[in-house]
Amino acid sequence: MQLAPVFPILYRILQPTFPSCLWSGSVREPIVALTFDDGPHPQYTPELLEVLDKYKIPASFFWLGVCVERSPEVAKAVYQRGHWVGLHGYNHQMFTSFTPPNLKQNLEKTQLAIAQACQLDFDYVQTHVRDVRPPNGVFTPQILNSLQQWNYRPVMWSVVPEDWVLPGVAIVVQRVLSQVQNGALIVLHDGMFGGAEVAETTALIVKNLLQRGFRFVTVEQLWQLNSVV
């Protein structure tokens, strides 16, 4: 069963129900945030970086701790380019399967992997790498309360083209372009599932949106802009 047609409906339902999450940015400006889950990947992420470098645009990456440990040099390359980094859990295990202490430990383990790969102080990472996207977008009100209690910021999405099932570049691009509006927060994947086509897909999306007059921002910039609206 394809879920792509369901995500726009879910967004319209969930966004006003859970306003503490970042779902999108202000509709007053032609801005869009590109985000990438499940990386870093030793092949797909460097290919994606070449596209982002070519167009000189920022992106946001939600990393799995185990993938950071496997590809530390790729993680470091992403960070050194100034892209925004967030957490996607250590190994893509659903947050609903954890007790609160275990979930906190899972996130801290991912932060530690990032600190070691990017050669950063662990305390700095704990303070600055605090955006969290739950695997599969699954959360409960209790999970949100815990994340906020631990000073994490939950980040969701407004455009999900279901690229991880590899429906084809043309279909993914069409889904994104048909749903994008001011403030869109787009989810793509540079990991094992979906990553094989992410560079080509991203290049087509970026080229089209730049022609439409959109400006690319990071998740951090969306938070900042939303706070002053």
DSSP states of 143-191: HHHHHHHTT-EEB--SB---GGG---HHHHHHHHHHH--TTEEEEEE-S
Higher pLDDT, 9 or 199: 199
Token duo for residue 92: 């893509």
pLDDT band at 7; cut points 50, 70, 90: confident
Q: How confident is the model at residue 227 (pLDDT cuts 50, 70, 90)?
A: confident
Tens-place pLDDT, residues 64-77: 999 999 999 999 99
CATH 3.30.1310.10 fits 7-227, yes or no: no
More confidently predicted of 59 and 9: 59
Q: Give long-range contacts, CB 8 A cutoff, 24+ apart: 207-215.
A: 207/55, 208/173, 208/177, 209/32, 209/177, 209/180, 210/55, 212/30, 213/30, 214/30, 214/31, 214/32, 214/180, 215/29, 215/30, 215/31, 215/32
Residue 229: band (very low, low, confident or very high) from pLDDT cuts 50, 70, 90: very low
Compute the radius of gyration of the chain from its Cα atoms: 16
Q: How many CA atoms lie within 13 A of 169 on its CB side?
A: 11
DSSP three-state, residue 88:
coil
> Quick check: 31 and 215 in contact, CB under 8 A?
yes
- Token couple for 170: 């043309």
**What value does the mean pLDDT of the chain take?**
95
Evaluated on CA atoms 166, 170, 173, 177, the torsion sign reads negative
176's tokens: 């994104």
pLDDT at 51 over 90: yes
What is the residue extent of each domain of the chain? Answer: 7-227
Mean pLDDT is lowest, of 57-61, 86-90, 190-194, for: 190-194
Q: Give the pLDDT mean for 121-138.
A: 96
Q: Output the six-digit token pair for 98.
A: 């954890």
Residues of the chain with pLDDT > 70, as a percent, come to 98
pLDDT band for 212, please (50, 70, 90 cuts): very high
Give the residue with greater pLDDT, 229 vs 21.
21
Q: What is the pLDDT of residue 228?
A: 55
Res. 174: pLDDT tops 50 = yes
Half-sphere exposure for 28 (CA within 13 Å, toward CB): 6
Give the pLDDT score at 10.
83
Q: Where does the chain have alpha helices with state H?
A: 7-17, 44-55, 65-70, 72-80, 100-117, 122-128, 141-149, 169-179, 198-211, 219-227
Q: Give 183-208 pLDDT, tens digit per residue.
A: 999 999 999 999 999 999 999 999 99
> Hey, which residues are catalytic here?
37, 189
Q: Residue 1: pLDDT above 70?
A: no
Lowest mean pLDDT among 34-48, 164-178, 214-228: 214-228
Distance (Å, whole) CA 26 – CA 222: 8
The answer to whether residue 169 scores a pLDDT higher than 90 is: yes
By the 8 A CB rule, do 62 and 36 touch?
yes
pLDDT at 125 over 90: yes
pLDDT at 21: 96
**Statement: residue 180 has pLDDT above 90:** yes
